[in-house]
Amino acid sequence: MNKIALDGLPTPVIQYISHLEARVENLTELLTHAQKARFGSSSEQAKYVLEEGYEQESLFNEAEVLATEDEPNPIVIESHTRKPKRTKEELAKELPVKKVFIDIPEDQRTCDICENDNLKAIGQELVRRELSIVPAQLYVTETYRINYGCDDCLEESDEANIIKPEVPVPVVKRGLASPSIVAHVMHQKYTNGMPLYRQEKEFERLGAKILRSTLANWIIYVSMFWLFPLWEALKDVLLESPVIMADETVIQVLKEPGKTPQSESRMWVYCTGNVARPPPIVLFEYQPSRAGEHPVAFLKDIQKPFYLSTDGYAGYNGVKNAVHSGCLAHARRKFEEAMPKKAPRDNCARIGFEYCQKLFALERKFKDLSPEKRCAERNEHSKPILEEFFKWVETVNPLSGSKLAKAITYAINQKKPLSAFLLDGRIDISTNLVENKIRPFAVGRRAWLFADTVNGAKASAVAYSIISTAAANGLNPYIYLKHLFEELPTVLTKDPKADLSAYFPWADDVQKMCRRKNV
């Protein structure tokens, strides 16, 4: 209804109609958002044009820019930048080569012109190059040790002195598990997202009947005895980082004391920021709730000020010595969710979205600078835009309960954390890094759905930590896990408090042995 149609009506009726109109608008917005979330693109890349005169190519050709980063010799055509095609040699240049020769049978080596049967080989010709694979095979390894006896001792004392070589501690006591098979099971579940029941079926097809309960027990055993000490050592290094990012996601544990199987628990994630030292570290920690006491306990040993980058969840506010840094990606996302499909230039949600886009465009320009130089450039170029953004936010009067109201409220409440990136060039303007570290867990969760027990959830947290940190440091997770299971049982059995720095993913020997070939 328009205002003219409302003239002459009692004030309470007009107020009630206005309330219904606002409610209809809110419900329409919620429906549009739900349809966009279900059927629309999930990309956060820019789709809108800024005001004329601004550097639009660097701001809004994000897809092309990202697609061509670090690619050699791009071929520029009229509409966009296209990557050159990879050759067969480039695709498989790091793989070992097995040569296969096709020869003429000896009884057929006869000239078809003069019938000479004494042909000589004059060279070889490369016909084609193909990728081949050896499928997984199971076999039993029997380990024997060679013992030695001293004949001189036998002659002198009638008792031979027997010398036996040291036997490595097994990765799982009194079991058939070897380092390679346990590493394979964990790699399949936590890197490739293959649930244990599927692995059980695959092992059966390969000729071994290994129950999923056995596979689960292997994972829990090696995680608690051999990987958890390494997790603790990595945590000590993480807590020395000047910038720490944190986030959490849902996990369901069926057999958790005091909770129903349908209740939600939390997997907390902490990682180093985009700084050179320490190297990348990603640690998962299982906790039964989202209470703020958990990050407080995890970070309590940090005795000096540090930057803590989060999404604005109030549970992190109790962390001591933390200078809180916010996430502009969350702010941008909220404004984007509030935008209609074809947002006009004066649409408030679009204006807020474009302010965020300007800041992200500048960050792409600053990404290769040193922290000191980046901080200076931010204060010169990003700070005026941020100040203008917050001045504009104060002028917006959104409809209560709308998506725009939530975006404005988030920006106002997070003003100080969202401005913290101006303090230090080591701070990222978003928490996208830690969210990306959560993604493999979220993808795997869609396949295995839940953890059966608390011990299983804790083991999964440790496993994801080691694998994610290995991947962040350019390692092949399977080779790294296998190396750990070959070494750590013996090392930790001799000394439970042994220095494990030689087994960190960035250690020189580990890098030489376990690094991915394509890195």
Q: Is 90 exceeded by the pLDDT of residue 358?
A: yes
> Above 90 in pLDDT, residue 376?
yes
Concatenating the DSSP letter of every residue in 121-136 gives ----------------
**Nearest Cα to 242, choosing from 364, 370, 380, 371?**
371
Binning pLDDT at 50, 70 and 90, where does residue 127 land? Answer: confident
Q: Exposed (0-12), middle (13-18) or buried (19+): which is 68, by Cβ within 10 Å?
A: middle
One-letter amino acid at 498 equals A
User: Do residues 272 and 234 touch, judged by C-beta distance below 8 A?
Assistant: no
The residue with greater pLDDT, 95 or 406, is: 406
pLDDT of residue 58: 37
Question: Hey, which residues does 369 pair with through a beta bridge?
Answer: none
Q: Are strands 253-255 and 161-163 parallel, antiparallel or unpaired?
A: unpaired
Q: With cut-offs at 50, 70 and 90, classify the pLDDT of residue 375.
A: very high
Between 64 and 285, the more confident residue is 285
Whether the predicted pLDDT of 488 surpasses 90? yes
Report the pLDDT value the prediction gives residue 49, as an integer from 0 to 100: 41
Residue 284: pLDDT above 50?
yes
What pLDDT, on the 0 to 100 scale, is given for residue 65? 38
Single-letter amino acid, residue 19: H
Say if residue 123's pLDDT is above 90: no
Q: What is the pLDDT of residue 185?
A: 95
From residue 133, alpha-carbon distances to 93, 130, 519 in Å are 15, 10, 21
Least confident of 12-21, 141-150, 244-253, 264-273: 12-21
Mean pLDDT in residue range 131-151: 86
Has residue 28 got a pLDDT over 60? yes
pLDDT tens-digit map of 180-203: 999 999 999 999 999 999 999 999
Question: Is the CB of residue 321 less than 8 Å from the CB of residue 502?
Answer: no
pLDDT higher than threshold 70 for residue 503: yes
Can you give the pLDDT at residue 117? 83
User: What percent of the chain shows pLDDT beyond 90?
Assistant: 53
Strand 282-287 relative to strand 253-255, pairing: unpaired
Check pLDDT > 60 for residue 54: no
Which single residue is written with the structure tokens 């990728």? 131
**SS3 per-residue string spanning 268-308:** EEEEECCCCCCCCCEEEEEECCCCCHHHHHHCCCCCCCEEE
